[in-house]
Structure 1
Amino acid sequence: MDAPHKLRTDALVAAGAGALSAVLAFVTDGGRFPDAFGWVLLLCSALPLVWRRRNPVAVLLAMIPVLMAYHLLDNAHSAPMPQTFVVLYTVAVTGRPLRTLLTGCAVIAVMVSVVGVIDAHHGLELLRISGWIVAVLFCGVDVRIYRQYVASMVERAERAERTREEEARRRVAEERLRIARDLHDLLAHSITVIGVQTSVASHILTVDPDRLDREAVARALDDIAGTCREARAELRTTLQVLRDGSEGGDGPLPGLAALPGLVRAAETAGATVELSVRAPEGRIAPATGAAAYRIVQEALTNSVRHAGEGVRIEVRVEPDPAFPALRVTVADDGAPSARGRSGEAGHGPGFGLVGMRERARSSGGTLDAGPLADGGFQVAAVLPLPGSPAGRPATAAGREGAVL
């Protein structure tokens, strides 16, 4: 019942009902032709319809005494039917079925009483009018049910639209997180290696200028240039993926076969790395291989950055003996910088460990990271392989934190 210009529309309905009642007063053959007072009662019975939407029951109660007086004067009994039907329809379409039932019974009872007082022999006329009243009430109930159905369908459609929007926002957030993680893994590793190599070159140039080792300086600068080229190539691939909206870009995802390249980059930064890779039987999913690669990359970057030049790092990638999963472990002996890696000291909080945990979770696995009892720092991840329902927790003692 919520519509624009309700009052103006209801005024037009009241005027139309009054005009139709006047026409029926001229053509009806039941009762006498209304006199002046009868015309006033007839037209006044249509006037409350102007406020029928605000309170239909009150409008009906206001019309009942006017119509009773009109019928008791034995005026044309069919004339007030238009406004009667309109108000009964409004009561039925705006209220509960119980209220509609009680209203219909009350109206029929009043009508029977009034007509019975006037003429007890008008039973057939009374039955006909009662049938129309029941039909109008049923029509109002049916329209009410239909409106409720339409409203529920609209609400369901709006809920589905909100769900789609929330899903779209969730996917955008996940994509932004993935992009941030990829860029972090790429740039943090490359910048860290370049920083260490630059420090080496600067050290050679400033410690003993008279005995300058030109070959060492040239080798450090070549390593910097090579790292820049690799970073540029990976960045171009990542941007190509973002630009095209594809998953793989111009080449395959990095996997276990690319781990020696990470080791060489760490060694050029002054670290000593021992790599042990035992690929499991069967084909490793590209996402699992890429997750293992990125976890090793970030762990090496953290070790080089926080433990400094000369750190010894052990990288092991092997099948889990008790579970269909790939175990990735990166441990170093850089105990003095363990606190900095958890974001508690050093360079402040970052996203390194957070990103590695997200990498592991994206493949259905788990990751723990923390200082070792005998010194150093360890990152241990378990990545499920095909046929595994989920990863199990790594055995390393973990501690919340992040780096870089």
Structure 2
Amino acid sequence: MLLDALKKNRSLQDGPLAGVMATAAVTYVLVHPGHRPLDAVGVLLLGGAYTVLTWRRRCPAVVMVAVVVLLVPYNLLEYRNEAGIPAGLLALFTLSALGGRRQAVLSGLGVLAVVLTGMTVVKSGVHFGAPQLGAIGWTADAVIAGQAWRSHRAYVAAIIDRAERAERTREEEVRRRVAEERLRIARDLHDLLSHSITVIGVRAGAAAHLVGGDRPIDRAELAEALGDIAGTCRTARKELRATLAVLRAADGGAGEPLPELDRVGELADVARAAGLEVTLDERGDTEISAEVGVAAYRIVQEALTNVIKHADARSVRISLCRADDRLLVTVEDDGRGPAAGDGPRGFGLVGMTERARSVGGTLRAGRGPRGGFVVGAELPLDAGHGG
């Protein structure tokens, strides 16, 4: 708290300094009186010149004038003049450091004119010698030192400002990357869990129908339904572990690989197990980046999930076509399609659109030419060269 108070009120810093300097100056003159011994008037003039330095940083111009006004009669009364020199130099230094260059030069010239005039009056002549040269040199030094200190402070302030801006930029970049990673993980979890839970729900419903129906239980059909549920659970667990491994990357664990495009056939098999007729059409063998492969896989996965949940379809066609430098992904069903005025609901279409954009691609979704619903994505083969 004391340091904060000192920073806010510079007078609390300059007051003790002014007191020490005043005491030292008065003591010096008392010990070495010179031409005229120091009396009460001299103490008031000399002490006052140092005391006003308490406010030198709050109002430097006023303090400079006050110091000159007090020291001129002090010197004219022929007290020991060198005792007041530090007060004048410190006031001039402060005015130069806190003011502009023009103000500093004009102040220096004004102080120098007063000093030289006073020296001429005291010496009763116009002889120009070592004392006058010394006065010019000390005045110039105070002005130059003040301007140097001002430039130094401006330089340090600029460095601190650049460092703070760089730190803010780094923090914003970290926050942006964290937000992107959270969004990516949220998409992965949504696509994985939504697809798996939908398939499990369909197969569990079929198994319940077999058990609760009037006809004798077909043990083979029931075993197949339960086996599909178990297989979907294993696949979901595997992909969930791969997704969560991203969060544990700092521990050095590689985790299991994320799904790629060559596993779309597994999605087709799961959709067939859910009762759909699935056609998978793959064309071209151009290599694609792993990032694009994951994006394409997730888009197909979410599109099939929507078909199973909402389309009331009998068949679905999946097309993967590598043409030139693009990968064209299409999932088309023969279901009822969206009703007039229906808009996208839930996070499925949003997630697919974000996935396409994350690798530099585009996605479109809507009613197909023969009814049903069509999801089409156009992705670059290499995410680093996306548009």
With normalisation by structure 2, the TM-score equals 0.90
- The 8 Å contact of residues 21 and 50 in structure 2, kept in 1 or not, is answered as yes
Cα deviation for residue 263 of structure 1 reads 0.5
Q: Distance in 2 between matches of 1:255 and 1:167?
A: 29
Aligned partner of residue 284 in structure 1, secondary structure = coil
Partner of 2:348: 352
C-alpha distance 81-117 of structure 1, shift in aligned 2 (>3 A): same
Q: 2:137 corresponds to which letter in structure 1?
A: G
Partner of 1:101: 105
Aligned partner of residue 82 in structure 2, secondary structure = coil
1:148 aligns with 2:154: yes
Q: For residues 182-201 of structure 1, what are the structure 2 equivalents within 5 Å?
A: 182-201=188-207
Partner of 2:377: 381
Aligned partner of residue 376 in structure 2, secondary structure = strand
Q: Distance in 1 between matches of 2:382 and 2:48?
A: 83
Q: Distance in 1 between matches of 2:192 and 2:251?
A: 19
Q: Distance in 2 between matches of 1:359 and 1:52?
A: 64
Partner of 2:54: 50
Partner of 1:316: 319
C-alpha distance 390-230 of structure 1, shift in aligned 2 (>3 A): closer
| Counterpart pick for 2:359 among 363, 376, 385 | 363
1:13 aligns with 2:14: no
1:213 aligns with 2:214: no
Partner of 1:171: 177
Cα deviation for residue 354 of structure 1 reads 1.5
Cα deviation for residue 27 of structure 1 reads 7.4
1:328 aligns with 2:324: no
Cα deviation for residue 299 of structure 1 reads 0.7
Deviation string, structure 1 residues 95-141 (Cα, Å, up to 9, x no partner): 12121111111111222232333322453212211210110111111
Partner of 2:274: 269
Deviation string, structure 1 residues 192-240 (Cα, Å, up to 9, x no partner): 111111222233334x424443432332122111111111122122223
Q: 1:319 corresponds to which letter in structure 2?
A: R
Cα deviation for residue 26 of structure 1 reads 5.4
Q: Distance in 1 between matches of 2:260 and 2:98?
A: 67
Q: 1:352 corresponds to which letter in structure 2?
A: G
- The 8 Å contact of residues 196 and 232 in structure 2, kept in 1 or not, is answered as yes
Partner of 1:346: none
Aligned partner of residue 330 in structure 1, secondary structure = strand
Cα deviation for residue 169 of structure 1 reads 0.8
**Number of residue pairs the alignment of both structures matches:** 380
Partner of 1:396: none
Aligned partner of residue 308 in structure 2, secondary structure = helix
Cα deviation for residue 246 of structure 1 reads 8.1
1:66 aligns with 2:70: yes
Cα deviation for residue 39 of structure 1 reads 2.7
Aligned-pair RMSD on alpha carbons? 2.5
C-alpha distance 218-342 of structure 1, shift in aligned 2 (>3 A): farther
- The 8 Å contact of residues 326 and 384 in structure 1, kept in 2 or not, is answered as yes
Q: 1:152 corresponds to which letter in structure 2?
A: A
Partner of 2:290: 286
C-alpha distance 255-230 of structure 1, shift in aligned 2 (>3 A): same
- The 8 Å contact of residues 67 and 87 in structure 2, kept in 1 or not, is answered as no
Partner of 1:394: none
Partner of 1:135: 141
Q: 2:117 corresponds to which letter in structure 1?
A: S
- The 8 Å contact of residues 198 and 220 in structure 1, kept in 2 or not, is answered as yes
Cα deviation for residue 336 of structure 1 reads 4.2
Q: 1:289 corresponds to which letter in structure 2?
A: G
Q: Distance in 2 between matches of 1:59 and 1:41?
A: 14
- The 8 Å contact of residues 338 and 367 in structure 2, kept in 1 or not, is answered as no
Partner of 1:253: 258
Moved more, 332-341 or 147-156: 332-341
- The 8 Å contact of residues 45 and 67 in structure 1, kept in 2 or not, is answered as yes
Q: Which runs of 5+ in 2 are unaligned?
A: 1-5
Partner of 2:166: 160
With normalisation by structure 1, the TM-score equals 0.86
Moved more, 31-40 or 286-295: 31-40
Q: Distance in 1 between matches of 2:283 and 2:377?
A: 15
Aligned partner of residue 317 in structure 1, secondary structure = strand
Cα deviation for residue 40 of structure 1 reads 2.2
Aligned partner of residue 274 in structure 1, secondary structure = strand
Q: Which runs of 5+ in 1 are unaligned?
A: 344-348, 392-404
Deviation string, structure 1 residues 295-324 (Cα, Å, up to 9, x no partner): 11111111111113x43111100123xx41
- The 8 Å contact of residues 342 and 353 in structure 1, kept in 2 or not, is answered as no
Aligned partner of residue 375 in structure 1, secondary structure = coil
Q: Distance in 2 between matches of 1:122 and 1:76?
A: 20
- Percent identity reads 45
Cα deviation for residue 31 of structure 1 reads 5.3
